[in-house]
Copies of this chain bind each other. A is one copy, B any other.
Amino acid sequence: MSPEQPTAAPPNAPANPVQAMLEAPLSLRERKKLKTRQTIRREAYRLIAEQGYENTTVEQIAAAAEVSPSTFFRYFATKDDLVLTDEYDPVMITALLARPADEPFLTSCREALIGLIRELLQHEREELLTRMRLVTEVPSLRAGLHRGGNSPQELFLVALTRRAGVEEPTFDMRITAAAIGAATTETVLQWAAAEGEQDIATLVDHTFAVLESGFAGV
């Protein structure tokens, strides 16, 4: 019924996950869907840049993308999802699970994060900046960041649970994922707030140093 998200890259996919997804052979139907999705997003970002997020209605976006409002909601469950969803969570989880299991989890996170972000910056730097700026500025988006499923917090929790090979996460895992996820989010937002002028790897390193130190500095 609803259009599928692009599937996660398999473990043996090419090094660049973004390219990997784009290179996959697609049927006409799938190409059209992808195109529609991209058109909606593109037109949405254009209108939002012109008028602001709150002043841009779903109806306007749908009209600009030449689809009906119904169709808009078939591609994005909510207006917020335009900005909040991306397709990198599975990639990040894969990257996390690819790290040695006996490595401290903080180290795994730092390395996986830096790797993924570097990749993203090469291809979608501007879009990422725009998105993060919107998230910072629009309250409903800021809130939505922590909604079920696609928050960094959930992501780290899944990785931790799987790595431990258990079904249900423990309390320790929950608080760990929560803390690391929140700190990570804050770091990316900080980077966007500085217009991307600070080196994000340095910021991430710094964040994880603070986490590792047990917040000794404050």
Contacts and interface: CB of A to CB of B under 8 A. Distances in A.
A218 interface: yes
Interface in A22-81: none
A216 B142 contact: no
Contacts of A211: 175, 179, 214-215
A217 interface: yes
A104 B214 CA distance: 10
B171 A190 contact: yes
Interface string A177-218: 011111101110010000000000001001100111111111
Contacts of A105: 215, 218
A160 B217 CA distance: 12
Contacts of A175: 183, 186-187, 207, 210-211
Q: Chain A interface mostly helix, strand, loop or mixed?
A: helix
A155 B218 CA distance: 16
Contacts of A140: 147
A145 B214 CA distance: 25
B153 A142 contact: no
Contacts of A217: 172
A43 to B, nearest CB: 26
- Which has the most chain B C-beta neighbours within 10 Å: A105, A176, A187? A176
Interface of A: 104-106, 139-140, 142-148, 153, 160, 171-176, 178-183, 185-187, 190, 203, 206-207, 210-218
